[in-house]
Amino acid sequence: MKHHINFKVNGDDYSLAVDPWRTLNEVIREDLNLTGTKLGCGTGDCGACTVLLDGRSVSSCLTLAVSVNGKSVMTVEGLAPSGEELHPIQEALIQTGGIQCGFCTAGMEMSALNLLNQTLSPSETEIKSALSGNLCRCTGYNQIVEAISMAADKMRDNAAEKEEQ
Amino acid sequence: MTAASIKEKQSLIGTSVPRIGVDGKLNGKALFSNDVAPKNSLWVKALRSELAHAKIESIDIKDALNTPGCVAILTAQDIPGNNSFGIINKDQPLLAGSKVRFVGDPVALAVAISEDVAELALSKIHVTYTELASIFDPEESLAPGSPFIHEKGNLLGKRLIKKGAPELAFEKADVIIERTYQTTCLEHAYLEPDAGYAYFDSDGKIVIYASTQNPHYDQADVASLLGLEADRVRIIQTNTGGGFGSKLDLNTQGFLGLACYLLKKPVRMVFSREEAFLCTSKRHPLKIKYKSAASKDGRLLAIDVKIMGDTGAYASYGLAVVSRSAIHATGPYEVPNVSIESVFAYTNNPIAGAMRGFGVPQVAFAHESQMDLLAEALGVSPLEIRRRNALRLGSTTATKQELTASVGIQTCIEAIAPHYEAIRNKTNSKDSKKLKGVGLGCMMYGIGNTGTQNPSTAQVELQSNGGIVLYSGAADIGQGSSTVLIQIVATELGVGAEKITLVNADTGLTTSAGATSASRQTYISGNAALDAARKLKEAILTEAATMLKANRKKLYMKNGNVLDSSGVDSSVSFEQIANKAKREGRPLKWQGFFDPDTTPLDPETGQGKPYATFAFAAQIAEVEVDILTAEVTVKKIIAAHDVGKAINPESVKGQIYGGAAMGLGFALMEEFIPGKTVSLKDYHIPTFSDMPPVECLIIEEPEPTGPFGAKGVGEPALIPTAPAILNAIADALGSRIYSLPANLERVMKAIHSGASKMKFRLNQ
Ligand code: FES
Ligand code: FES
């Protein structure tokens, strides 16, 4: 029997009937056609499917769609919705060269955002441990670490500026 | 300002132009292979053998066909063309007909309205097998009386290399070191599992979108499977989430082509991670018996190397690994007397194919361990012995190829030397529980395919609006070849990178650039693109000379205009030139071609010129070994790479960083155990916390035949890392590990053996 769920994705409201065994990953990708969220393993081991659920990062491949009823999901498509201005995390990833094939990138961005939602001055160790569930086979990680700390600096400066105004 | 200095100023060569396509990867809009299929596509799933070696007696598909929503069940009988494919040897059936040869061999396909239904239908296919004796060891496979895996027998191939008189040299040697090294089966673990989508276009062509390194090869093999002319199949590469060699094979493409062709419907397929683990190609496990001889003064006199490789059930790229591992067995050293034999056998293990380095990472582990052992026996430093033996201009390789240019190994060694000495001077106290060690790893790597033609083609076109289009068959799989090709063409034509539109890796719109493998795209496809750009440039200048009534020699290009450097204030734009040429019927699209200068190897002696150029590298790894837990922490990697010319330095560094990570995995943790390894839970690749800082030292010994002097770096990046780490562990413990990976168990053994040699105290 299908279950009815209401939830938000990147600020938009959705109301869907879903089979109880379907994952959030499948629903986002196949039903909502938001294919920016990837499926790298389906077993919670790679982090490519990371999204934010009520502001906290989760593996969408392990999250049942029915469990997000009433909740708010953010995917990579919601990071810089206007498409014109890049999010500081995106800017920094370009600057440091932390993207090669790009398949891990969406998951990296969401895990990074999860961390930066909690602190804007993460140490290198904190970055590495916050992203320990995200695998990348191309970059060797260091440029991604650098990008996240660069983004944190920028976001801290932005926040300080806002306060001054 | 002279034309030359203007060109210099406008050059994009050596600048880190941002990669094309990053925006889509950042905002989620870039489409990968599992993102392209429309909703009405049918799903294709493969039934795979659970037996390693068995005769197929019958396949009963009745029940499966009755599954509601199942559209078709396809078996070998349904394949209209030649049911065998493979990049070098065509020995692999798309669907097993008479027998299965490894756990994972596909026997049938279900095509259904959803993935779930396809899976359900698969579970209702009844295959009756008669089990055959299986072989999992290559030596056993070649032993007399072993059951045949393929009709032609179990030998995949053999490569012999002979130079000088090794027996005599061994007799005269001051030291001889003989050891056996063993490496293991590895999984590429690219992050994007294979997927694709196929449909019939309005011209009746089968169009296949796929995650691939090799679109033009895919096209030929899919067409042959279907019994069609190649131009009835079009392959379009989607964004590809890493490949590292495994996406050179037909993974989903053949299944998609078959289902689409027979059902005349759009179809899609995606491998689960388990499936990608089970049935895509692996790195060849090699057993390397290595004997080296040296003189008192630390010069290599001879080597005798026997390599035994396990190619698994089908050949894939195995034959390339047979030769390449043999040719590279000397390492980047001049060895006057050589005897090398490389023999690979079929077994019932997973298919081993191309994986970043084609056998060279395995042999580098052996030759670099040997160098350290020789140094120790002779009482010279590991650095010094490498200095004395490293190839230089005029040296000859094992295949008697004389190196006449761009031999950067000495420069790489000198670049890391001060870092090495500085780290080496740190000492361990006898009571320390964390022992530090430092190790060196050097390598050479022949760019492009081995001793065979491997051309690339490209076209560069001037459009009526003055824009430039570059057509190249080269698949960018994340390493950045597209950006490099654009930089080359933009520089030649004196325009910004943004002025170049790239059309690539689509067999309907581009001609073949060959595979994205063997670190060949910068050198070979870069040259093809440059050749096309040069021809277009000639045409533009000729056109401009008439239009400006100027001396052609005085003309130069800048920002899409041709200007006169003789002081006359006149110019004409690319747009004007294009329009005039078009009106008058002169061509604006020019063809470029490049095939590296190689010769085939002699079958008996292995002599020949297998590669037109070689990349070189030297790396240092600094490690710390916890002697209580056996945990190895890599503290730092310093990597010097001779790339000829770094066209895009950030991309070169990106390759080195990523290569070092893969090398670290190879050294310490990665091991694919057939039958046991099924997911990323069992197969560990390096994570954020495993990676130390990596310092890149880019060395540029220009290659005269390379585009702007460039060679390649994709595979070289990974090769020296594992040897450097293993040498560092040996340095820390005074005891060496000969089998990879250096996992906890092996390190613990080495700790005990080091302690028993009184190198350090293990207990309080
Ligand atoms: S796809 Fe969810 S963790 Fe890998
Ligand atoms: S960039 Fe390819 S997996 Fe991270």
Q: Considering every ligand atom shown, identify the ligand nearest to the alpha carbon of residue B688 and give its number.
A: 2
Query: Per-residue confidence at B757, pLDDT binned at 50, 70, 90?
Result: confident
The rounded distance, in Å, linking the Cα atoms of B254 and B246 is 15
Closest by Cβ to A100, choosing from B479, B681, B685: B479
| Binding site membership of B22 for ligand 2 (Cβ less than 6 Å) | no
The CATH code of domain A3-79 reads 3.10.20.30
Helices and strands in chain B: count of H runs, count of E runs: 19, 28
Q: What is the pLDDT of residue B764?
A: 46
| Binding site membership of A78 for ligand 1 (Cβ less than 6 Å) | no
State which amino acid sits at residue B153. Answer: G
Q: What is the pLDDT of residues B432-462, one digit of tens each?
A: 899 999 999 999 999 999 999 999 999 999 9
Ligand 1 atom, smallest distance to A39 CA: 1
Ligand 1 atom, smallest distance to A46 CA: 4
Q: What is the mean pLDDT of residues B553-575?
A: 91
Say if residue B74 is exposed, middle or buried (CB neighbours under 10 Å; 0-12, 13-18, 19+).
Answer: buried
Q: What is the mean pLDDT of residues B553-579?
A: 92
The CATH T-level fold of domain B3-30+455-594 is Aldehyde Oxidoreductase; domain 4 (3.30.365)
Q: Considering every ligand atom shown, identify the ligand nearest to the alpha carbon of residue A63 and give its number.
A: 1
Alpha-carbon torsion angle B470, B474, B480, B481, nearest 10: -70
Please give the share of chain B, as a percent, with pLDDT higher than 70.
Answer: 98
Q: Considering every ligand atom shown, identify the ligand nearest to the alpha carbon of residue B191 and give its number.
A: 2
Burial pattern B617-630, b for ≥16 Cβ within 10 A else e, equals bbbbbbbbbebeeb
Which residue, by CA, sits nearest to atom 3 of ligand 2?
Answer: A136
Query: Per-residue confidence at B6, pLDDT binned at 50, 70, 90?
Result: very low
Size of interface A-B (CB pairs under 8 A): 164
Q: What is the pLDDT of residue B606?
A: 97
The rounded distance, in Å, linking the Cα atoms of B316 and B319 is 8
In angstroms, the Cα distances linking B190 to A137, B240, B243, B483, B623 are 6, 9, 6, 21, 26
Could you write out the three-class secondary structure of B567-595?
CCCCEEEHHHHHHHHHHCCCCCEEEEEEC
> What is the B82 CA–ligand 1 centroid distance (Å)?
37
User: Would you say A71 and A24 are in contact if contact means Cβ atoms under 8 Å apart?
Assistant: no
**Do the domains at A3-79 and A88-164 have one common CATH topology?**
no
Which residue, by CA, sits nearest to atom 4 of ligand 2?
Answer: A136
Chain B residues inside the 8 Å CB shell of A93: 22, 26
Contact B26 A94 (CB under 8 A): yes
Choices 3.30.1330.10, 3.30.420.10, 1.10.10.10, 1.10.150.120: CATH for A88-164: 1.10.150.120
State chain B's mean pLDDT as an integer.
Answer: 95
Residue B178: strand pairing partners: B291
List the single residue in B with minimal CA-CA distance to A37.
B28
For chain A, the residue count is: 165
The rounded distance, in Å, linking the Cα atoms of B30 and B51 is 39
A144 to chain B, minimum CA–CA distance in Å? Answer: 9
Q: What is the pLDDT of residues B306-330, one digit of tens each?
A: 999 999 999 999 999 999 999 999 9
Q: What is the pLDDT of residues B589-632, one digit of tens each?
A: 999 999 999 999 999 999 999 999 999 999 999 999 999 999 99
Residue B286: strand pairing partners: B309
- Domain spans of chain A, in order of start: 3-79, 88-164
